[in-house]
Structure 1
Amino acid sequence: MASLPTTFNDWIDEYHEGVRYGLNGKVLIDENSRHQRITLIESKRYGKGLLLDGRWMTAEHQERHYHECLVHPALCSAKHLNHILIIGGGDGGTARECLRHKGIEHLAMVEIDKRVVELSQKYLPSLGGDAWSDPRLQININDGITWVANAADASYDVVIVDGSDPTGPAKGLFNQAFFKNCKRILRPGGVFATQSESPEAFRQIHIETVQLIRRIFEFADPLYGSVPMYPSGWWSWTFASTDSPRYKSPFSQRVQQVSNQCEIWSPRWQQGAFEAIPAFIERELHK
């Protein structure tokens, strides 16, 4: 991000491989935490938004395109919802979507950067909403990689990885050791979910991530959707389980609890999104 506009007459851009992805607006906060550069902006189109190390994370009027698609295929299909783990997710959007499910007893969010949580609560309060005060939510300021490595076997019904691109603090979230530990801490009938980058802007990372998860879990499939503010606007999430591709078969009772509150996700949307795998990726995954 080259400039720091202070009025609504300039652009805030993410630069990726010769392409700019930007919003017209102004910068509210730009600071360095212990872990990364955190920028809060206010835009005309998408409201307030968040960048980490110059990369778009979320915005008030865009976030449902991402959070609903990451959460509900997993939480509507896991056998139980007693204990849920979020790695990352400091803006609160994933926790909010999780807590729409009344069956959750305990939700642990492990975020490495306390400052992301603090600034999101102040400047992006609609993302976390009531989740921040929900007694089921436990916020842990810790390294998610270490947390997963130290967690007991079969301790979570769902593990959700809501991390940024595989650089900086999120770099260790895209490797074999981490994914193996995620599988180890899943209970029988559990579901693993992770954002898995853009099949266009991060083509090779996306393919390698899906291939790796498929080698570790018995069942794994990518789902495709649109997050217009992200590089290319085309995004993916990958779901995995050990007993069956249960993430493709949501329980109707859970669907009824959350579907009327969703703007993007629905069982019909989900079915189409799993089937929307582009031909070049399908060929790579079948090699």
Structure 2
Amino acid sequence: MSWIDEPHQGVRYGLRGELLVEESTAFQHVTVIHSERYGNGLLLDGCWMTAEAQERPYHEALVHPALCSAHAIERILVIGGGDGGTARECLRHSEVQHLDMVEIDGRVVELCKEHLPGIGGAAWTDPRFQLTVGDGIAWAAEAPDASYDVVLVDGSDPAGPAEGLFNRRFFQHCRRILRRGGVFATQSESPEAFRAVHLAMVRLIREVFGHADPMYGWVPMYPSGWWSWTFAAVDGPRYRSPKAKRVSRIASDCEVWSERWQQGAFLAVPAFIERDLNP
């Protein structure tokens, strides 16, 4: 056993464990570890992505505010999400009829199926699930207008293969392919460890969609442990108002997310972020 660390701006975020896989794909360096505390985990280019005992605070926060509030949730697009956790949480909603997941690195999917199978769980064999190994940015650009009820971006930090997920043109396509009453959501980094990137993302998404709000929670293994997800819609902040029937169907099996938790998470905007976003 040794320490596996993600260094970030003079701080190290690490787990004690052992290496299971370390290899380079056409897109990035992939590491799979087994940790004492959180089970098997995944790093991409040396940055923590997920672990078996740390994934639900992230995936539940990204998925359920969007899927509980969109007008309809028949067709879902997930860009990224190679560990399968976002797809798994989406497919818990029985109203979902079809889910496209577009992941650029097929090797990540293979390794997660092998070493972190519980994260994707039943999603991998669900008949509603369609995996495309390819470029999610190009997929969004080529998809027809108003083709999805919900678009979720489950990408890594804004570098390497995920860099194109953080620009105006990409967000414009995400808005274009949303149906009326749809909701867009993306992970939007740590307000502490990635403050400038976080603020820039929220501002840009607000400009593109007209309505967008960050929601704050925690993923202890990530830099600073403090994380954010940003939600947007074109017809007002519907993502703040979950539909009671959908909540009742999934809340009892959530580890972190609940309607009450969501309300608090949207309100938990630190003063320095509020001043920067609303000068």
Q: Could you say whether these structures have the same fold, taking a TM-score greater than 0.5 normalized by the shorter chain as the test?
A: yes
| Percent of residue pairs bearing the same amino acid type | 67
Deviations 1:52-101 (A, max 9, x none): 00000000000001000000000000000111000000000000000000
**Which one-letter code corresponds to 1:235 in the other structure?**
W
* Equivalent residues in 2 for 1:267-278, closer than 5 Å: 267-278=259-270
CA distance in 2 between counterparts of 1:222 and 1:204 reads 14
Decide which of 71, 76, 85 is 1:93's aligned counterpart: 85
Quote how far apart the aligned CAs of 1:167 are. Answer: 0.2
CA distance in 2 between counterparts of 1:286 and 1:244 reads 18
Decide which of 37, 48, 51 is 2:40's aligned counterpart: 48
Mapped pair 1:186 → 2:186: no
* Equivalent residues in 2 for 1:101-140, closer than 5 Å: 101-140=93-132
CA distance in 1 between counterparts of 2:57 and 2:7 reads 21
Quote how far apart the aligned CAs of 1:286 are. Answer: 1.1
Deviations 1:96-121 (A, max 9, x none): 00000000000000000000000000
Aligned to 1:35, the other structure's residue is in SS state coil
- Structure 2, gaps ≥5 residues long: none
CA distance in 2 between counterparts of 1:273 and 1:198 reads 14
Mapped pair 1:32 → 2:18: no
CA distance in 1 between counterparts of 2:248 and 2:39 reads 30
For residue 73 of structure 1, what is the aligned residue in structure 2?
Answer: 65
For residue 254 of structure 2, what is the aligned residue in structure 1?
Answer: 262
For residue 164 of structure 1, what is the aligned residue in structure 2?
Answer: 156
**Which one-letter code corresponds to 1:226 in the other structure?**
W
Quote how far apart the aligned CAs of 1:229 are. Answer: 0.1
**Which one-letter code corresponds to 1:124 in the other structure?**
L
Quote how far apart the aligned CAs of 1:257 are. Answer: 1.1
For residue 142 of structure 1, what is the aligned residue in structure 2?
Answer: 134
Deviations 1:193-248 (A, max 9, x none): 00000000000000000000000112100000010000000000000001110000
CA distance in 1 between counterparts of 2:186 and 2:98 reads 19
Mapped pair 1:281 → 2:273: yes
CA distance in 2 between counterparts of 1:62 and 1:103 reads 27
**Which one-letter code corresponds to 1:45 in the other structure?**
R
Aligned to 2:49, the other structure's residue is in SS state strand
Aligned to 1:274, the other structure's residue is in SS state helix
CA distance in 1 between counterparts of 2:211 and 2:248 reads 26
* Equivalent residues in 2 for 1:3-22, closer than 5 Å: 8=1, 10-22=2-14
RMSD: 0.4
Length, aligned pairs only? 279
For residue 166 of structure 2, what is the aligned residue in structure 1?
Answer: 174
Quote how far apart the aligned CAs of 1:272 are. Answer: 0.1
CA distance in 1 between counterparts of 2:136 and 2:125 reads 22
- Structure 1, gaps ≥5 residues long: 1-7
